[in-house]
């Protein structure tokens, strides 16, 4: 998300997006290389795709070429990681999650193990396009900026609320959740 602008009294913010066209990816991995080079210190001084905040998942035999970015859809470290056994096969909780979670093994600093996260190449002055997009000559990655109205709260869906509450209850127990809600409402009143 970017800069706030005021246009005719309506606050707007710039939303930056990198669109991925999987059909156009050829597996050249120039995006990985360029991302890693840009974020090296000093800039471009070292190359290491393992430090990239974008990764092309390549499965040649099944013809799968998917550029995946370390986005901010989920918290940097997922605290609820568990493993499940279904039909004698072990799955990690991440297998069920559709988000490109930066805590997944694709996006960890090789030295520190710390999570990497795409910053859309924030810089001063701003880049015309993030480096990975600049490096992609095939049009598999394209950059878009859109203006969105600011301040409109998303309408909470009752079923989402229920799922969220249930998960909190499962994790902390009904008493703690009730206590927390009571505390919050008291502080608001006060």
Partner 1 sequence: MRYGETGFNLEIDLSLGSIDRVETDPKLTELHLGGQGTADRILWDRVPAGVEPFSPENVLIFSSGLLVGTPVPGANRTVVNTFSSQTNLHAHSLLGGYFGAELKHAGYDKIVISGRSSELVYLWINNDKVEIRDASHLRGMGCQETAEQIKRDLKSEKIQVAAIGPAGENRVNMASIDHSHSSAARGVGSIMGDKRLKAIAIRGTKDLNIARPTELFEMCQNLRKSIAENPSVGDWMATDEDDSFHHNNFSWGNARVRRRDFWSKELEERWRNLKYKYMNRQTSCYNCSKVCHNVISFPGKPTFSYKCYGKDTYHMAAFQELDFSYEILGISQEYGLDSYSTPQVIAFALELYEAGILKDQDFPGMPVNVRERFFYLLEKIVRREGIGDILANGVSLAARQIGNGAEAYDHNTIKRFEQLPIKLGRLNPVYFLMLATGEKMAITQIEGSFPQDPLPTIEQRKEFVDGWVSVPNEKFKKYFMEWEKRDTISNEASCAICDWNEAMHYLDDATGICGFLSSFRGGQFGGRSAYHIHNMPPLISLSTGIKMDETLLWEVFQRNRTLVRALNVRRGMRRIDEKPPEDHWAIRDHDYEQKLLDDYYDFKGWNKDGIPTKETLDKLGLDYVSEDFLQKGILKDNEAASTEKEKEA
Tell me the closest approach of the beta carbon of residue 25 to partner 1, in angstroms: 9
Q: Cα separation of 91 and 84, whole Å?
A: 5
> Which of these, 74, 68, 75, lies nearest to 53 by C-alpha position?
68
Name the CA dihedral angle for 185, 183, 75, 119, rounded to a multiple of 10 degrees: 60
| Residue of 138, 165, 172, 178 that binds partner 1 (CB under 8 A) | 138
Nearest Cα residue to 105 out of 77, 80, 84, 128 = 77
Q: How, if at all, do strands 89-92 and 83-86 pair? A: antiparallel
Does position 63 interact with partner 1 (CB under 8 A)? The reply is: yes
> Does residue number 135 form part of the binding site for partner 1 (CB under 8 A)?
yes
**Per CB under 8 A, does 103 bind partner 1?**
no
| Contact pick of 9, 60, 88, 113 for partner 1 (by CB under 8 A) | 60
Tokens for 78, please give them.
């997922």
Smallest gap, in angstroms, from Cβ of residue 126 to partner 1? 17
**Residue numbers of the site for partner 1 (CB under 8 A)?**
23, 26-30, 33-34, 37, 40, 42-51, 57-61, 63, 65, 110, 134-135, 137-138
């Amino acid at each position: 998300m970017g800069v706030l602008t005021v246009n005719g009294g309506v606050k707007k913010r710039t939303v930056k997006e990198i669109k991925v066209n999987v059909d156009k990816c050829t597996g050249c991995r120039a995006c990985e290389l360029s991302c890693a080079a840009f974020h090296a210190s000093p800039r471009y001084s070292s190359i290491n795709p393992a430090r990239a905040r974008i990764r092309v998942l390549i499965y040649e035999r099944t013809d799968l070429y998917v550029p995946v970015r370390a986005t901010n859809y989920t918290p940097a470290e997922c605290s609820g990681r568990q493993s499940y056994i279904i039909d004698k096969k072990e799955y990690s909780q991440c297998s069920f999650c559709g988000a490109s979670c930066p805590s997944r093994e694709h996006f960890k600093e090789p030295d520190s193990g710390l999570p990497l996260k795409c910053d859309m190449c924030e810089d001063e002055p701003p880049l015309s396009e993030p480096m990975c997009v600049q490096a992609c000559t095939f049009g598999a990655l394209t950059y878009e900026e859109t203006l969105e109205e600011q301040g409109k709260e998303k309408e909470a869906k009752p079923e989402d609320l229920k799922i969220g509450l249930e998960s909190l209850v499962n994790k902390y127990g009904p008493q703690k959740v009730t206590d927390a809600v009571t505390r919050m409402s008291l502080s608001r009143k006060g």
